[in-house]
Homo-oligomer: A and B are copies of this chain.
Amino acid sequence: MRSGSAPSPPRYEVIGIEGVPEVKPGDDIARFIAEAAGRQSTPLAGGDLLVVGQKIVSKAEGRLVRLADVTPSPVAEAMAVGLGRDPRLVEVILRESRRVVRMDQGVLITETHHGWVCANAGVDQSNVERDCVALLPEDPDRSARALRDRIRTLTGADVCVIVADTFGRPWREGLTNVAIGLAGLAPVRSYLGERDPAGRPLQATILAVADELAAAAEPVMGKLDRIPAAIVRGLPLVPGEEGSKPLLRDPARDLFR
């Protein structure tokens, strides 16, 4: 019956998850997300990739700091003057960092303890209580694994999980969503050793598919925390348990540190 039928191209769908309640420390966001997905008639299913914004993960994990409780160091005080920023915020950023990569024009770019290079060590003041800031999860891969396990327990569905945040990048304007934590899928797809039809090795050999799928989820996710997660459905994913580490460029191979 297949002869003559139209070919079936590769395709997938991206579905925002609306109706996730406001998250407080200790909340079971896997349950929030699974229930919200069910309410909108797109229940989580095996093979789905669930992309979750970092903010609700950080909130659930209690990764919040009240600036009134922070005493800035003299270094933070001095840097804050140069940056025109709150010295308590600079102190929090420095505590989350292992190295300052750039400090100029009011922008502070650091390498986090995880190894991510981003503005303000991912410390963010929006969508949290006044006078509070949210830190990145302590171990976003662990967060992703915990979400995956909890969703399997709650729903029986074996999903992959990406914890994502919006990072800037040099040279190009605007932020894009990237993966900072992963569970269940391989973060990169390698074409090493593959050849084009003319027999030449492919030059674009490693694709950061986890970052591409985090990016794919962002356009349906609401910046105002109303849609903190999205389902990527229908795309075959390469299984992997190595987490996000393969997305960290080896500093020895990085020409821009």
Interface residues of A (CB under 8 A from B): 6-19, 39-42, 102, 104-105, 107, 109, 116-117, 124-130, 166, 169-178, 187-188, 191, 194, 196-204, 206-209, 211-213, 215-216, 218-220, 223-225, 227, 235, 246-250, 253-257
Contacts and interface: CB of A to CB of B under 8 A. Distances in A.
Nearest to A252: B105
A171 B225 contact: no
Nearest to A201: B126
Contact of A200 (B130, B170, B172): B130
A12 to B, nearest CB: 6
Contacts of A225: 196-197
A204 B175 contact: yes
Nearest to A178: B172
Contacts of A130: 198-200
Nearest to A111: B171
Contacts of A116: 171
How many copies of this kind of chain does the complex include? 2
Judged by DSSP, the binding face of A is loop
Q: Select the residue from A104, A127, A172 with max chain B CB neighbours within 10 A.
A: A172
Contacts of A169: 169-170
Given A125-B200, A170-B117, A255-B109, A175 B207 contact: yes
Contacts of A166: 204, 207
A20 to B, nearest CB: 11
Contacts of A187: 174
Contacts of A129: 198
A220 to B, nearest CB: 4
